[in-house]
Structure 1
Amino acid sequence: MYLIVIFGIKYIMRNREPFSLLIPLSIWNFLMAGFSIIVLLNVFPELVSKIINHGYVNSFCYRYESHKGESGYWIWMFMVSRLFEFIDTIFIVLRKRPLIFLHCYYLLRSLKIRIPAKVPIILTSIQITQFVAAFYGSILVFYVLYWQKIKCEIDTTVLHISVCTNLSFLFLYINYFVQTHILRGGKKKLQFLSKFIAKEEIKIE
Structure 2
Amino acid sequence: MTDKTSDFSFSYVFPFEKNFDEESFWQWIRENWTLSLWYSLAYIVFIFGGKYYMERRPRLEIRVALAVWSSILAIFSILGAMRTMPELIYVINKYGWEFSVCNPSYVYYSPTAFWTCLFALSKVYELGDTIFIVLRKQQLIFLHWYHHITVLIYVWYSIPEHTAPGRWFIVMNYTVHSFMYTYYALKAMRVKVPKFISMVITSLQITQMIIGVAVNIWAYHVKGKGGYCQQSYSNLKWSSIMYLSYFALFSNFFYHAYFNKKKPSVQDIKKMENKKQN
Q: TM-score, normalized by length of structure 1?
A: 0.81
Distance 1:118 1:65, change over 3 A: closer
CA RMSD between the two structures: 2.1
Structure 2 counterpart of 1:78, one-letter code: F
Choose from 110, 117, 125 the match for 1:76: 117
Check whether the contact 1:135–1:167 (CA below 8 A) recurs between aligned residues: yes
The aligned counterpart of 2:235 is 158
Query: Is structure 2 residue 200 aligned with structure 1 residue 122?
Result: yes
In the TM superposition, what are the counterparts of 1:1-205 in structure 2 within 5 Å? 1-64=42-105, 66-100=107-141, 101-102=143-144, 106-146=184-224, 148-184=225-261, 187=262
Aligned-partner Cα distance in 2 for 1:156–1:84: 29
Percent identical among aligned pairs is 31
Check whether the contact 1:25–1:91 (CA below 8 A) recurs between aligned residues: yes
Give the count of matched residue pairs.
Answer: 185
Aligned-partner Cα distance in 2 for 1:55–1:156: 22
Aligned-partner Cα distance in 1 for 2:233–2:138: 38
Q: Report Cα offsets for 1:23-44 as digits up to 9, x if no partner.
A: 0110000110110110111111
Q: Report Cα offsets for 1:139-172 as digits up to 9, x if no partner.
A: 11111112x2213222333322221111111111
Q: Secondary structure at the match of 1:183?
A: coil
Aligned-partner Cα distance in 1 for 2:100–2:214: 15
Q: Report Cα offsets for 1:116-159 as digits up to 9, x if no partner.
A: 2322222221221121112111111111112x221322233332
Aligned-partner Cα distance in 2 for 1:22–1:9: 18
Aligned-partner Cα distance in 1 for 2:257–2:58: 28
Check whether the contact 2:83–2:115 (CA below 8 A) recurs between aligned residues: yes
Q: TM-score, normalized by length of structure 2?
A: 0.61
Higher-Rg member (1/2):
1
Aligned-partner Cα distance in 1 for 2:136–2:47: 12
Gaps of 5+ in 1: 189-205
1:8 deviates by 1.8
Aligned-partner Cα distance in 2 for 1:51–1:78: 22
Aligned-partner Cα distance in 2 for 1:8–1:143: 44
1:175 deviates by 0.7
1:102 deviates by 4.9
Distance 1:22 1:86, change over 3 A: same
Check whether the contact 1:138–1:159 (CA below 8 A) recurs between aligned residues: yes
Check whether the contact 1:9–1:93 (CA below 8 A) recurs between aligned residues: yes
Aligned-partner Cα distance in 2 for 1:108–1:102: 20
1:90 deviates by 1.1
